[in-house]
């Protein structure tokens, strides 16, 4: 019996995943932030519209992602510095207002205006019920609402879009943000999502539940540059420790069952490459 079969035979998959994530957070120095975010927003069961985070594994997994995402936001704020005025932070595709609640608490000494933008009326209602500002609109149409952002956020959203290049280019052209914080699932090799077609499972799907483009970091870098952005910083958050005797086993476990982790980038507008494409 191989090590992988031995380990999985001894422990349920959810247990392996939970322990893997906690070990990864500890190794990546994200565990203190993970614990702080749990205090700020104790209940994330209704984070999404289409499914509930109704198991301990799901909550740990999503909170791990949140820790990585908020750490990237903190890094972006350090990179752009203090503007000397109250900054506006906009979370695009926000489903519950959780990230903005984190940011307002972690940076309670700063005068941030935080608001969400979503095309999903249910999500907008949920965010407003939490006492946060939300706009029911497409992010590309923010100028119609006379709102501009110093910092834009897009967490695990680009992979759900039919046209991520058009979306990114529109934001580059129509906003004056100083930093755009983006995260997407990490894959080593680019591929199409569309899992329900791949598995020949005809059923009604929606944007929140459907990945279309699952690209490797090298390809996302090209997409960002082509669409009008420069990369200021980038990182990969792995859902398993990188320095453990079990690393090969856990890497294979995540590849087979989910994603190895998430790729994040901090961007700023830069039309060096996008202006060379004549057919936008």
What 3 state SS string does the chain have? CCHHHHHHHHCCHHHHHHHHHHHHHHHCCCHHHHHHHHHHCCCCCCCCCCCCCCCHHHHHHHHHHHHHHHHHHHHHHHHHCCCCCCCEEEEECCCCCHHHHHHHHHCCCCCCEEEEEECCHHHHHHHHHCCCEEEECCHHHHHHHCCCCCEEEEECCHHHCCCHHHHHHHHHHHCCCCEEEEEEEECCCCEECCHHHHCCCCCCCCHHHCCCEECCHHHHHHHHHHCCEEEEEEEEEECCCCCCCCHHHHHHHHHHHCCCEEEEEEEEECCCCHHHCCCC
pLDDT at 31: 98
Q: State pLDDT tens for residues 259-268.
A: 999 999 999 9
pLDDT at 187: 96
pLDDT at 49: 66
Q: Where are the domains of the chain?
A: 14-139+147-276
pLDDT at 229: 98
Asked if the model's pLDDT at residue 155 lies above 90, the reply is: yes
Asked if the model's pLDDT at residue 51 lies above 90, the reply is: no
pLDDT at 11: 63
> What is the CATH class of 14-139+147-276?
alpha beta
Q: State pLDDT tens for residues 222-235.
A: 999 999 999 999 99
Does pTM top 0.75 for this prediction? yes
Q: Which residue has the higher pLDDT, 20 or 205?
A: 20
């Amino acid at each position: 019996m191989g090590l992988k079969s031995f380990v999985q035979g001894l422990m349920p998959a959810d247990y392996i995943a939970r322990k893997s994530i906690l070990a990864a957070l500890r190794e990546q120095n994200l565990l203190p932030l993970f614990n702080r975010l749990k205090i700020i927003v104790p209940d994330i069961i209704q984070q999404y519209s289409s499914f509930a985070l109704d198991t301990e594994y799901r909550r740990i997994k999503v909170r791990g992602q949140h820790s990585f995402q908020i750490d990237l936001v903190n890094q972006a704020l350090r990179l752009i510095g203090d503007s000397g005025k109250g900054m506006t932070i906009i979370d695009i595709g926000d489903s519950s207002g959780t990230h903005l609640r984190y940011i307002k608490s972690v940076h309670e000494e700063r005068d941030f205006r935080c608001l969400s933008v979503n095309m999903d009326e249910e999500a907008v209602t949920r965010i407003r019920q939490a006492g946060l500002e939300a706009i029911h609109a497409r992010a590309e149409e923010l100028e119609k609402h006379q709102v501009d952002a110093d910092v834009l956020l897009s967490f695990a959203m680009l992979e759900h879009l039919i046209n991520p290049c058009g979306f990114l280019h529109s934001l580059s052209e129509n906003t004056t943000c100083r930093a755009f914080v983006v995260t997407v699932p990490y894959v080593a090799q680019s591929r199409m999502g569309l899992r329900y077609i791949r598995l020949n499972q005809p059923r009604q799907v929606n944007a929140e539940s459907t990945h279309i483009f699952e690209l490797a970091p090298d390809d996302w870098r090209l997409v960002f540059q082509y669409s009008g952005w420069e990369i200021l910083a980038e990182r990969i958050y792995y859902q398993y420790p990188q320095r453990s005797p079990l690393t090969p086993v856990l890497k294979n476990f995540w590849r087979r069952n989910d994603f190895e982790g998430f790729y994040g980038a901090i961007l700023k507008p830069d039309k060096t490459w996008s202006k060379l494409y004549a057919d936008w």
